[in-house]
Structure 1
Amino acid sequence: MTERLAHLEKKVDSIESTLLRLNETIIHLDSKVELQSTKLTGALELQSQRLSAALDLQGQTFSSGLDLQTQKLTSTLENKSISFDGKLKDLKLSIILWVLGLPGLAFALYRIYQSIATHQ
């Protein structure tokens, strides 16, 4: 029986030793998981910052390009408007000259007809 008791004590000591090593392994794995988690969090934050910076840069580039195109379009529209206004004024002047010229032409034709009629 003492032999059996000694054998059981050896098994208990072996189990305790195994549990102690298992506990140390778990603690070691926890520290590794924590370290990897910290590294992953840092890498994700870095990538997030880089992505935000790239998006900001693209947004600024797009915005400046859009502003430039808007200025060009506004300038072109102003030039076309000025050109159209000039042409419109010329057409108005032409219409006014025709309106004023027609009665004068009609009067001149009347005078010519009148002078021809009096000579006959």
Structure 2
Amino acid sequence: MSAQASIAVAEGRDLLTAAFVDVDPEGGTRPTYFAILFTDAWDGDPPTRWAEALRMLATLAEQSPGYLGYDVEVMEGGREYAVTHWASPAYIRQWKKSSAIVIGDNGLLSRIYGREGCLWPWLDAAKQA
């Protein structure tokens, strides 16, 4: 269970709702945005280097404004990936920019980063704003 979902259960909120939206303190809901990170190294990438980059990305995310938590999922074929949740696309861009500075852009980040989007697909266009 994600940290966000655990909080929802502790607060007596509906788990399904908590998994897909950020509930603000005033009772309204906002969509959450996500960025996918592949947790297993691609062929040819040293697993230790990959793991170190993921640790740095996770640490930066936890310290970044707008970060809401993460979930680990498994895709077909058994490859794991992490879904990081954010309050807005601007926070994802800021985190990625900081990550590139800290880790360096040697091509590894482009292989770790997967897709970005909105858990409310019809609002995904706001990401482009």
Higher share of residues assigned strand: 2
Q: Could you state the TM-score of these two structures normalised by the residue count of structure 1?
A: 0.17
Higher share of residues assigned helix: 1
Q: Could you state the TM-score of these two structures normalised by the residue count of structure 2?
A: 0.16
